[in-house]
Structure 1
Amino acid sequence: MTVEITSHEELRELLGEPTPRALGKERPALHARDRDWLAASPFCLVATADADGGCDVSPKGDPPGFAKVLDDRTIAIPERPGNRRADGYRNILDNPHVGLIFIIPGRTDTLRINGRARLVREAPWFDDMAVEGHRPVLAVVVEIEQIFYHCAKAFLRSRLWQPESWQPDALPSRARLVKEVEYPAADLDDLERHYGPAYLATMYR
C-alpha cells in the first residue's frame, strides 16, 4: 500500500522540526568565504521552472571562478556553447526564481544560492568572462535572496569523491548511448569520433 503525504503538517510530523541552527544559517548576501567558494568552484547546477511549474536542472562548468561576483547580493553565470535547447533560459524568461548549487571537487559540503534571475546579453564585465577567446553572448544574473552551506551527508552517503566507488563503465559509452537511445540510425563510428578527443575542441565554439 502506498501512503502519500498531502500536507505540511504530515510532513513535519514525519520528519520533525528543523533545528534553530539549520534555520538560522541562511543569509541574504555573500560573506567573504562565499566569495572564496565561488572563486574555487568550477561547477554548479542551475534549477529553474517554467510558468506552469515544469522543472529543469542544467549543469554549468568552466574554470574555477566562472561565476562572477558583481556585488554582495548579485552574481553572474556566463553562457557557453551547448545544444541550444535553452530550457533553463526559457524558464527564466517566464519565471525568474532559480536555485543554484556550487560544487568544489573533493568537498562534501556545497554552497546553495536561491534568488531571482534575469538574462543579460551585454554588460561591461562580459570581457572578464571570456575563456579561450569565447566571450559569452549572454549571462544569467542572479539576485541573491538566500545563501547557505549545505551539509556533507549526501556526498558521504553516495561516496561521490571516493575513486574506489566509481564505475564509469557500468553503462555503455556516450556514443553508444546516443545510438541506442537517441539516434538509432546514426553510424556508431561517426559517433565515437564525434565524442572522442575531438569533442574537447568544441567546448568554446
Structure 2
Amino acid sequence: MKTKTIVFDIGETLVRDDLYWASWADWLRVPRHTLSALVGSVTAQGLDNAEALRLLRPDIDIAAEYAAREAAGRGEHLDESDLYDDVRPTLGALRDLGMRVVIAGNQTVKAGSLLRDLDLPADFIATSGEWGCAKPAPEFFARVLGASQARARDTIYVGDHPMNDTFSAHAAGLRTAHLRRGPWGHLWADDLQVRKTADWVVDSLTDLITVVNEQSTP
C-alpha cells in the first residue's frame, strides 16, 4: 500500500484549542483555569468536550449561546497564532512529495471559512457543519473518502481523538495516525485499543513526512 492522500482533523491536530476554551470561559464569566480543568475531566472520562460547558451550566443551550457570542462580536476566530508550528511546513512538504492534502474535522460552517482564509497548503478543506454529518458517523468518512479521491487503504486519517479519529477512521477502512497532541492525544496515545487500531502513533505532524518517505524506499 502506498499513501496517496493524507486527511487531517482540525482541533488539536492543526489548531490549538486553548484560546477557544478561554473565549468560552470569558463569555460564561468563569475563571479560565476552571473550564480548562473541566475539559480535562471530561476528556479523562471519554466524554465529549462540550460536556465541560454543561458541568458549568447544566441547562445551557450551546447553540443559542454560540449565536449570542457571534451577535456580540465575540464569536469564533482563527488566525495564524492558532496554528501549531508544524502545520504549514508539514502540509507543504507532503504536497511536495505528491500527496493530496485534505483537512476535514468536526467544526462549524464558520470555521471552514476561517480555515480557507488562512490559505493553508491544502487541496481541500471541509467541516462537519458544511457536510451536515459529524465524526464518528460513517457518513462523515464516506465524505472524507470522496474528498480523498483515493481508496481507503491509500488514505491516512490523522487526529488526536480515539473515538472520533482513530477508531472511526479505522472502521471505515482508512489507515490512521494517532497524534499525541492536546488532552485527548496525550491521555489516550498508549491506550491498547488505540495502539491496535492506529497504524502509527506520532508525536508531531513532521513525523508523517518520514512515514511517506519510508513507503517510497524500495
Q: State the TM bucket, normalised to the shorter chain.
A: under 0.3
The structure with the largest alpha-carbon Rg is: 1
More strand by share: 1
Q: Which has the higher contact order (CA 8 A, sep 6+)?
A: 2
More helix by percentage: 2
